[in-house]
Structure 1
Amino acid sequence: MNTWRIAAVVTLAAAGWAPAGLADAPETLPTVEACFLSNSQHHTVVLEVASKDKQRQRGLMNRTALADDAGMLFTYQTERSANHGFWMYQTLIPLDIAYLDKQGVIVSIHTMTPCPSSDGRNCPTYPSGERFWNAVEMNAGFFEARGITAGDQLVWPAEQACQP
C-alpha cells in the first residue's frame, strides 16, 4: 500500500497538484537592495523582484506582514499605459504603490487598501494615471513618512548614489 501511495503522490505532484496550503505558498523571488533618493536623502530598501507574469499577478497576496524596509518591485519589458493598474484582491495588508518611469523616477503614488471581497471582480483597481515601466509596493504610509513624492527616484541595484 505504501508503494501505491508514493506512486500516487509522485504522479499528482508531476501533474501540478499540491496539498491545500502548499500550492498557495509564496514563490521565493530574487531580491535586490535599492534606495529611494529624495531631497538629498536616501532610503535603503530590500525588494523582491517580480519580473514574470505569474509573479506579478500574485504580488503580495496573502501576506500578513511586510518588514518596514521591504517591498516588491514589479518590472516590465515594455511601457504600461496610464490606465494600467494594480488591485488588492487577496491582499491582506494596506500598501503604497509608486509607479516609475524607465529611469526609476516616481510618476505617481497611491495608497491601496485590502479588498475584503472573495470575488476579484468586486475589488477596485489603482491605475497609475501616468505611463510607467515599473512599480514598487511598500507598506502603507512608507512614502509619506519619508517625504518621498513624485519626481523622486528609485535606484536599483543600490549604487554609489545610495551610500550615506
Structure 2
Amino acid sequence: MNTWRIAAVVTLVAAGWAPAGLADAPETLPTLEACFLSDSQHHTVVLEVASKDKQRQRGLMNRTTLPEDAGMLFTYQAERSANHGFWMYQTLIPLDIAYLDQQGVIVSIRTMTPCPPSEGRNCPTYPSGEPFWNAVEMNEGYFAARNITPGDQLLWPAAEACQP
C-alpha cells in the first residue's frame, strides 16, 4: 500500500501539483546594489530584478514587509508608453514607484495603495504619465523622505556609481 502512495505523490509532483501555498511561492530573483543620486546625495538600495514577464506580473504580491532600503527593479527590453501602468492586486504593503527613462533618470513618481484580493479586477492602475524603460518599487514614503524627485537618477552597479 505504501508503494501506491509513493507512486501517487511522485505522479502528482511530476504533473506540477503542489500543496496550497507552495505552488505560489515567489521565485528567488537576482539582486543588485544601486543608488539614487539626488542633489549630490547617494542613497544606496538593494533591488530584486524582475526582468521576465512572469516575474514582473508577480512583483511584490503577497509580501507583508519590505526592508527600508530594498525594493524591486522592473526592467523592459523596449520603451513603455506613458499609459502603461502598474497595479496593486494582492499587494499587501503601500508602495511608491519611480518610472525611469533609458538612462535611469526618474520621469515620474507615484504612490500606490494596496488592493485586496476581494477587489480583483477593480484595482486601479498607476500609469507613469511619461514613456519609461524601467520602474522601481520602494516602500511608501521612501522617495519623499530622501527628497528624491523626477530628474534624479538611479545608477547601477552601485560599486561604480555611488562613491561618496
TM-score range, shorter chain: over 0.9
Alignment match, 2:76? 76
State the 1:13 CA deviation. 1.7
Query: CA offsets per residue over residues 92-148 of structure 1, 9 Å max, x none?
Result: 000000000001000000000001242421100000000000000000000000000
Check the 8 A contact 1:117/1:123 in 2, yes or no: no
The answer for the alignment partner of 1:142 in structure 2 is 142
Aligned pairs for 1:10-159 within 5 A: 10-159=10-159
Partners of 1:117 and 1:87 lie apart in 2 by 12
Calculate the TM-score normalised by the size of structure 1. 0.96
Q: Structure 1: where are the runs of 5+ without partners? A: none
CA displacement, residues 21-42 of structure 1 (integer Å, 9 cap, x when unaligned): 1112111100000000000000
* SS of equivalent to 1:3: helix
Distance 1:157 1:146 in 2: 20
Structure 1 window deviating more from structure 2 (17-26 vs 41-50): it is: 17-26
Q: Unaligned regions of 5+ residues in structure 2, if any?
A: none
Separation in 1, partners of 2:140, 2:98: 11
Aligned residue number for residue 7 of structure 1: 7
Shift of 1:163: 1.7
Query: Secondary structure of the residue that 1:29 maps to in structure 2?
Result: coil
Structure 1 moving runs of 4+ over 3 Å: none
Q: Which amino acid in 2 is paired with 1:103?
A: Q
Residue 158 of structure 1: CA displacement?
1.1
Deviations 1:54-90 (A, max 9, x none): 0000000000000000000000001100000000000
What SS class does the counterpart of residue 118 from structure 1 fall into? Answer: helix
Query: What is the alpha-carbon distance in structure 1 between the residues aligned to residue 21 and residue 117 of structure 2?
Result: 20
Q: Using the alignment, how far apart are the partners of 2:6 and 2:101 within structure 1?
A: 50
Percent identity over paired residues: 88
Structure 1 distance, partners of 2:108, 2:102, is: 13
TM-score, normalising length: structure 2 = 0.96
**CA RMSD for the aligned pairs?**
1.1
